[in-house]
Structure 1
Amino acid sequence: MVSSPRDHVPVADLVEELLSTDGPLTIVEAGEPVLRRGTEPFDGQLDPALLARFVEALRVTMHAAPGVGLAAPQVGVPLRIAVIEDPAPVPEEVRLARGRVPQPFRVLVNPSYEPLGTVRAAFFEGCLSVPGWQAVVARPAEVRLTCEDESGRPVDEVFSGWPARIVQHETDHLDGTLYLDRADLRSLSSSRAMAERWTQPTPREAAESLGFDLP
């Protein structure tokens, strides 16, 4: 495997380099090794001031994309840190079908999740690191998240509906997993197809037309 010069750069120096320019950070796309190698637990590699600057840069980048979550590897940093935030500006029928409710800005440090129960929900999902495509992913409908926040305070919280999906998607990034690894690839649809065909609150019509199963 060919290594990148950045593989040997201390993570604090890498973050300082990324933050040396103003504006959103560059989001790396599928095919970049940093998205597949997993991450190292955060254990003070960034001092509090640098961590705060990095978190703010993740927030700015997430908003600019726009997206509802962003993990550190998506900007080239192999640390177990992610941010999420979802204003959920969706019609009522979508909110009810997907359980999509607003989520405040949160920082997830060293997160992990475990499914609660056996119910799974399947919806189209996309990723800022896989632009132009969406696919249906069946995920646990409810999960328990454990992590710390940016100040080191412990978090132990249950998420359901769309917030549970966001938590799983972003935590998966920290393990080197992309949503496509969990997707039914018969459902893979371009942004154009999504806009023209699959705007319904659930993927039921897509499943019937494209020939894939739903849980």
Structure 2
Amino acid sequence: MALPNHRAPLAEQVEQLLAAEGPLPIVAAGEPVLRRPTERFEGQLDPALLARFVEALRITMHAAPGVGVAAPQVGVPLRIAVVEDPAPVPAEVALVRGRVPQPFRVLVNPSYEAVGSVRAAFFEGCLSVPGYQAVVARPAEVRLTGEDEHGRGFDEVFSGWPARIVQHETDHLDGMLYLDRAEPRSLSSNQAMAEYWAQPAPDEAARALGFELPD
């Protein structure tokens, strides 16, 4: 499937993407669209096209599979992302990471701010940086504001793994990848993750690879 023509109006770009059925192609690190702040959504897509685009993002997220996809990850520089997490992890992992199921939802023009000073560090990956994971220390609790796909505003506090997900996806909309916030010495291939670092928390990885975790 061809990537959208970035010189065309955004609606045309999205129409080009949706011309074929199935998951949308996910762009990888190095694509300029991943490094540029996105445009605020202000009706660039009419309601019907927006609904089709949101559904395509949902299909793409499920097919990857992932727990979130942001519009720039499919080449569209709009401030829109989708998230969903069935949290299919062992109970011990869920407890340590604060990972609880999250229903499908659409984030339009989201922004976040830390609530308190507590930070949590865990391995994190990205569909646009395939094959690797790294430890990222993030605020353990954030306040997220924005709108849904129908223009209804929200102002919510997220904690645990859901807070990590919404921070990760909102960062995409600001032209950031998780690697920008990661501990460089923690970078690990998926193979190394499976062999060495499957523990619920990265304490052992920090000792073995030589990096610090937040207090």
Q: Tell me the TM-score normalized by structure 1.
A: 0.97
- 1 CA distance for matches of 2:55 and 2:114? 30
Residue 63 of structure 2 corresponds to which residue in structure 1? 64
Give deviations 1:71-130, integer Å, cap 9, x for gaps. Answer: 000000000000000000111110110000000001000000000000000000000000
Residue 30 of structure 2 corresponds to which residue in structure 1? 31
- 1 CA distance for matches of 2:117 and 2:132? 28
Give deviations 1:117-169, integer Å, cap 9, x for gaps. Answer: 00000000000000000000000000000000000000100000000000000
Residue 152 of structure 1 corresponds to which residue in structure 2? 151
Contact 2:4–2:13 (8 Å) recurs in 1: no
Residue 176 of structure 2 corresponds to which residue in structure 1? 177
SS across alignment from 1:183: coil
Which residue identity is paired with 1:7? H
Structure 1 segments, 4+ long, off by >2 Å, are 4-7
For residues 117 and 62 of structure 1, do their structure 2 counterparts lie closer, same or farther at Cα, with a shift above 3 Å needed? Answer: same
- 2 CA distance for matches of 1:66 and 1:8? 30
Q: Tell me the TM-score normalized by structure 2.
A: 0.97
Contact 2:4–2:17 (8 Å) recurs in 1: no
Residue 112 of structure 1 corresponds to which residue in structure 2? 111
Q: Once the 2 structures are TM-superposed, how far is the Cα of residue 5 of structure 1 from its aligned partner?
A: 8.7
Contact 2:68–2:83 (8 Å) recurs in 1: yes
Which residue identity is paired with 2:123? F
Which residue identity is paired with 1:135? A
Gaps of 5+ in 1: none
Residue 196 of structure 1 corresponds to which residue in structure 2? 195
Residue 164 of structure 1 corresponds to which residue in structure 2? 163
Give deviations 1:17-63, integer Å, cap 9, x for gaps. Answer: 00000000000000000000110000000000000000000000000
Q: Once the 2 structures are TM-superposed, how far is the Cα of residue 6 of structure 1 from its aligned partner?
A: 2.7
Gaps of 5+ in 2: none
- 1 CA distance for matches of 2:211 and 2:4? 42
Q: Once the 2 structures are TM-superposed, how far is the Cα of residue 7 of structure 1 from its aligned partner?
A: 3.0
- Percent identity of equivalent pairs: 80
Residue 204 of structure 2 corresponds to which residue in structure 1? 205
Contact 2:36–2:174 (8 Å) recurs in 1: yes
Q: Once the 2 structures are TM-superposed, how far is the Cα of residue 179 of structure 1 from its aligned partner?
A: 0.1
- 1 CA distance for matches of 2:22 and 2:59? 7
- 2 CA distance for matches of 1:127 and 1:90? 18
SS across alignment from 1:157: strand
Q: How many residues align?
A: 212
Residue 72 of structure 2 corresponds to which residue in structure 1? 73
SS across alignment from 2:6: helix
- 1 CA distance for matches of 2:199 and 2:99? 14
- 2 CA distance for matches of 1:79 and 1:6? 14
Contact 2:4–2:75 (8 Å) recurs in 1: no
- 2 CA distance for matches of 1:91 and 1:182? 27
